[in-house]
Structure formats: structure tokens, C-alpha cells
Amino acid sequence: MTQPDFPPADAIEAAARRLLDGGLAAFPTETVYGLGADAENAAAVASIYATKGRPSNHPVIVHLAPEGDVAYWAADVPPEARQLMQAFWPGPLTLILKRAPHVGTWVTGGQDSVGLRCPSHPVAQALLSAFARGKPGGQGGLAGPSANKFGQVSPTRAEHVRAEFPDEVAQGMPVLDGGAAEVGIESTIVDLSRLDQGVGPVLLRPGHVSAAQIAAVLGRPVSRPDAAAPRASGTLKAHYAPHTPLELVDDARLARALAGEGLPAGRVALVAYAAPRASAGNIEWHAVPGDPARYAQALYARLRDLDGQGYARILLQAPPLSAEWDAVNDRIGRAAAAFSLETTGLQDNTVAGGPRDH
């Protein structure tokens, strides 16, 4: 992959100054683009929620520079957290830890835990370092949920952010262009905030760093969420959805669709791994990679592209139900749930307990 022309240092410094002044700035990470604000500025973080239309009890992740001190943000940094940081930071892993007393509940959704991660993208790291240098004691963190309207498809390119927030961009919000996101879906989230209660590591959201990789580092299994698990970013039953109705189809439903059964009038996009057999005249096939990492990298950009082509529906062939596809299945399951909930009158915007609630 050709490395893009990254923003010059003065553009990064200007974005950092805007953040220090309480404004917003969009920045690239290896996962998706984030909408950043000073995590210690309640008004700035409130501006993120207002701009995105995000529920106030839905926590945001605090992004730290590689030189940042996790102990500034967490009341306790257990050995398990240090092990995972050593193995996967900088990178697409978020740790949920007990928040330090001075960390505002405006980034935690009112909870006593806080999500922390250190992104690996060089532009994100440069911005975080420049921002932290302007903070007392050099300890700065950016609240940085995905830079899109709440519940919609996350942005993996700078042009996605500009299209999502044209008014904010027109008013001077910086959008730092770091090229296409390498991972393409949001970070893995692991809860370590209840180890002192005898609750081991819990996977709240699957991602590029797998549960098996985490278990291998810690030497113990990683559990699925229980009823008392903290709320975490991106764990609504319906999330990551395009505007065009999306239907996740198994092999049986795919066969019926190819025969023209249950399709709306108008053009229908079929996102599948192999060219389908003879199909109804209004179905247009779009190939996707058969490898889960490459599929994840392309997923959101593909959905955004299809969203702008006037399709009546998007049919998405269901991937295998294997551990390698866990993160992809999580995202597309939530995207499809947005429409199944709407059509049944059961739209639910409460925060789910974990990644398997849909």
C-alpha cells in the first residue's frame, strides 16, 4: 500500500491548538477516523455528543500518546493490563479500567470505569503528542469516538468525515487526512475493571486483536459479557448501519433472493464472495474479499459507496461463523439489526451489555 502524504507538522499543531481551546478535530487511526475533543473538558466532550447525536450514557474511549501515563487515567493498572499494553499497544485494543477519581464521568457514561487506548497511526500519535505537550504536566488524552453520526457507518477515509459533517468542516473543524484506515473496524474492547471482584478479562467488543490472542498473552480465557459488564462503545443492538436497508442473508435466503423472492422494486446490491448463479434482473453483484482481515478493512468503505448509488436494498452474504470472523460478524449483525428492529417496531437505542446481544 502506498503511504499517503500525511498532514504537515503545522496542520497537526493547529489541530492540537484547536483541541486545547475546547474545539473538535477529526483524526485518523488504524481502525477508523475519530472525532476528537479534550477528554478533561466537559464542554468539549459534550460537543462531541451533540455533534454526533450520541446518547449521553454511551461512553467514549480516551486516546493516549505512546508516552502517555495510563496511571494518570486509571485508579488501578493491574498486571494484566500491563501485559496487554506490552503486547498490543500501540494498536487496536481498548482496555476498560477503573477510572481515576479526577477523570470526568462525561467520558465514562456515568460509570466508574474508563476506556483507554493508544493508537498506532503516526498522524494520531503526532496529534496526541502535540496535544499532550499543551496540557499541564503533559498528560493529555482525547475522547475520540468514530467521526460519524451516531449509529451510522464509521468513516475509514478523510472524505467520509467531510461528507458526514459538512457544516462543522465549513466552520473550521480540522480533518487530518491519514489515508485509508489499515484495520477498518473499531478496536477490540476488553474489560479489566473487575479483576479485584474475581471477574476475569471480559471481551466487550471483538476486533482485530482476537480473544484467542488476548488469552494467549494472559494465560487465561477471555469471557463473554455478563449482566454486570460495563457499557462500552459500539455495543448497541443496532449500530454501524448505512442509510440503505441492509439484509444479512444465509445460503437459503440467498438462493430465494437470486430467484427473485422477497425483493423490493428497484436495484438491489448483492455483496458476496463468489459470482452468483443466474439471478433476478434487478440484482447487481459486488465482490468482497474472502479473508476476514481484508474484508474488515474494506467493509465500511464498501457500505458507504453502495449507500450513494440509489439501491433499494443491500443484501450481504453472511460470513462463516468462526472465531476468525467474529469481529466482522459483530459489525454486520448490528448493521442489519438496525433495519430488522425498525421493520418490527422494536427499535432499541439502549446500550447493550455486550457484543452478542443482537
Query: 193 a known binding residue?
Result: no
* 3-state percent helix, strand, coil for the chain, nearest multiple of 5: 35, 15, 50
Alpha-carbon gap, residue 69 to 248, rounded angstroms: 42
> Contact, 266 vs 312, CB < 8 A?
yes
Mean pLDDT over 41-47 rounds to 98
- Lowest pLDDT segment from 45-49, 83-87, 144-148, 276-280: 276-280
Q: For 45-85, what is each residue's pLDDT tens digit?
A: 999 999 999 988 899 999 999 999 999 999 999 999 999 99
For CA atoms 182, 328, 334, 212, give the dihedral sign.
negative
pLDDT band at 132 (very low <50, low <70, confident <90, very high): very high
pLDDT of 171 reads 96
Mean pLDDT over 311-337 rounds to 94
Residue 173 has pLDDT above 60, yes or no: yes
pLDDT band at 353 (very low <50, low <70, confident <90, very high): very low
Residue 355 has pLDDT above 70, yes or no: no
> Contact, 6 vs 123, CB < 8 A?
yes
Q: For 237-261, what is each residue's pLDDT tens digit?
A: 667 889 999 999 998 999 999 888 9
> Contact, 158 vs 177, CB < 8 A?
yes
Query: 31 a known binding residue?
Result: yes
Residue 1 has pLDDT above 70, yes or no: no
Residue 94 β-bridge partners:
189
3-class secondary-structure state, position 158: helix
pLDDT, averaged across the chain: 91
Tell me which residue has cell 454501524: 240
pLDDT of 344 reads 35
Query: 63 a known binding residue?
Result: yes
- Better-scored residue on pLDDT, 288 or 216: 216
pLDDT of 281 reads 80
Q: 218-235 as b/e, with b when 16 or more CB fall inside 10 Å? A: beeebbebeeebbbbbbb
- Better-scored residue on pLDDT, 78 or 5: 78
> Contact, 123 vs 217, CB < 8 A?
no
Query: 220 a known binding residue?
Result: no
pLDDT of 60 reads 97
Residue 341 has pLDDT above 60, yes or no: no
Q: DSSP secondary-structure letter at 211?
A: H
Q: Give the residue from 272, 267, 273 showing the smallest Cα distance to 244.
A: 267
Tell me which residue has cell 447493550: 352
pLDDT of 240 reads 80
For CA atoms 175, 176, 179, 180, give the dihedral sign.
negative
Alpha-carbon gap, residue 206 to 177, rounded angstroms: 26
Query: 240 a known binding residue?
Result: yes
Residue ranges covered by each domain of the chain: 9-218, 246-338
pLDDT of 34 reads 98
Alpha-carbon gap, residue 205 to 145, rounded angstroms: 14
Alpha-carbon gap, residue 270 to 254, rounded angstroms: 9
Query: 54 a known binding residue?
Result: yes
Mean pLDDT over 260-266 rounds to 91
Query: 146 a known binding residue?
Result: yes
pLDDT of 233 reads 81
The dotted CATH code for 246-338 is 3.40.50
pLDDT band at 276 (very low <50, low <70, confident <90, very high): confident
pTM of the model: 0.92
Q: Which amino acid is located at 309 in the chain?
A: Q
Which residues are within 8 A (CB) of 31 and not within 5 positions of it... i.e. 6 or more apart?
92, 119, 181, 183, 184, 185, 186, 187, 207, 208
Alpha-carbon gap, residue 37 to 208, rounded angstroms: 25
Q: For 12-24, what is each residue's pLDDT tens digit?
A: 999 999 999 999 9
Give the CATH number of domain 9-218; options: 3.40.50.880, 3.30.930.10, 3.90.870.10, 3.20.20.150: 3.90.870.10
Which residues are within 8 A (CB) of 217 and not within 5 positions of it... i.e. 6 or more apart?
83, 84, 87, 88
> Contact, 117 vs 4, CB < 8 A?
no
